Structure 1
C-alpha cells in the first residue's frame, strides 16, 4: 500500500489511515490506534526503513492473539496494586516509552556529549536538549561534586527507588552505588529498615534512610529525623542530602510518566534484588 505522500507500506491493513506527525528526526507516519491493534494482533511489526519512510515487517503467528507484543490483553493492569510497579518493563520488542529514544546522529553535535552514557533515560531526555543539559548538570553535581559522603548519598537514592518501586532507578543505582562503596550488606540493611526491622547499618545511615522514606511518604523530613542527621552533617552536606533526595523523587516521576524502558544489563540486578510487586 502507498500513502498519499509516497510512503510504501509492506502489508495491507483494513481501515488504516496515515496520520502525520513530526519529531526531531524528520517526518514520520503512524497509523490510528485501531490499525496498531490490528497489526499487533495479526503478528506484524513495524520497523523504520530510514528517516523518511516506514516498512512493515510481517511475522508469522499461528494464533493472532498469541503475539506477545500485543498490548491488548490487559495483563499489565493486574500485575500489581502499586501505581508504578509496571513502569520500566518492556515485553519482547514492544518499547513502552512515550517519546522516541534519540541517537547521537539525530541531535545537534553540541548536544551529543549528553549521550556518552547512552542510557534510555538520556536518549529520551535529549528530545529537549537544553532541558536535558540542565537535568544532567544537577545529576552530575550530585554524583561527582557533592560534599555528601558518596556511600550515604547512594543509599538515600536507593531508598527512594525502593520505596517508589522504580525498577529503573533502583537497578541503575545498585550498580552505581557499588562503585561508591555500597555493599550487598548495605542493601540488605536498607530493605530491613524499610520493613521496620533491625539492621547492621550505622546510626547515621539508618537516620538518612529514615529521612528519605519520610520525604517519599510525607513530603518532608520530620523535625526529629532532620535534627538527628544534622548532628553529623554540616549545613552544606545537609543541603546536599535534602536536594539529592528531592531530585531523585523527581527522577522516578520522570521515569514513570515517560515509561522509560530499563536496559537488559540493569534488569539483571532484579535477580539478586527483586522488588516486591515488580515483575
Structure 2
C-alpha cells in the first residue's frame, strides 16, 4: 500500500473526543485519529479498546508486538508495520525475528522461543483462517493462562481491525506515528 493521502480528509480536531485521543497519544493526534474523529462514538470505543490492548494486558511486550507486526504483514498494513517496528525492537524483537515476521510462512524453530512460536502460529491461524486449529490452541495453552489467551485473541482481532481500517482508507505511515 502506497498512498499520498488518506481516502478521506481528517475531521475537526477539537472537542472532548479529540482530547481523549490526545491524552492517550501524549498530546498529539495521528492521521488515524483524525479519520476516526468523523465518528466520535467509534473514536471513543477505539481509543478505549486499543488503549487496553496496548497498555492493560498481561502479555509480555515482545509477544504483543510480535502479534501486531505479524498482523500488519498478513494484512499488508504498511502504516502498522512502520509504526510498530521500533516498538517491537524496544520490546526485544531481534533483527532476525523482524525479518522472519515478514516471510509468508515463518517456520517455527530457531529464532523463536517456544511461547513466541506458539503465539505466531495462533496469530497466523486467527488472521488467515479465523478458525484456530486445536493443536495450535493447545500449544498456546502450554504457555498462557486463561486471561492471557483472552488478551491474545483480542489483540489479534483488534489489530486485524486496525490494519483493515488503515488499508481500506489508505492511511500513509508518517515517521513516528503509532497505529492503534
Match of 2:60 among 130, 149, 161: 149
| Per-residue deviation, residues 197-233 of structure 1 (Å, max 9, x unmatched) | 7532111101111111111211121110110111111
Structure possessing the higher radius of gyration over alpha carbons: 1
Deviation, structure 1 residue 155: 0.2
Aligned: 1:244 with 2:158: no
8 Å contact 1:207–1:225 — kept in the other structure?
A: yes
Pick from 132, 137, 140: which aligns with 2:48?
137
Match of 1:186 in 2: 97
- RMSD, aligned CA: 2.2
The normalised TM-score by structure 1 is 0.57
Pairing partner for 2:133 from 197, 210, 222: 222
Contact kept in structure 1, 2:76 and 2:167, CA below 8 Å: no
Task: Name which of 142, 147, 160 aligns with 1:231.
Answer: 142
Using CA pairs below 8 Å that are at least 6 residues apart, which structure has the higher relative contact order? 2
Partner of 2:165: 254
CA distance in 2, matches of 1:117, 1:147: 27
Give the aligned partner of residue 114 of structure 1.
21
Q: Which runs of 4+ in 1 moved over 6 A?
A: none
1:189 touches 1:199 (CA, 8 Å); kept in 2? no
Residue ranges of structure 2 left out of the alignment (5+ in a row) = none
Q: For structure 1, list consecutive stretches of 5 or more residues without a partner in the other structure.
A: 1-85, 268-279
- Between the aligned partners of 1:193 and 1:253, the Cα distance in structure 2 is 18
Give the Cα–Cα distance (whole angstroms) in 2 for the partners of residues 206 and 142 of structure 1.
20
* Aligned 8 A contact 1:89 1:262 in 2: no
**Do 2:17 and 2:40's aligned partners in 1 also have CA atoms closer than 8 Å?**
no
Q: Which has the larger share of helix?
A: 2
Deviations 1:120-172 (A, max 9, x none): 11111111122111101111111111011111111011111111111011111
Q: Residue in 2 aligned with 1:100?
A: 9
Kept in 1: contact 2:118–2:140 (CA 8 A): yes
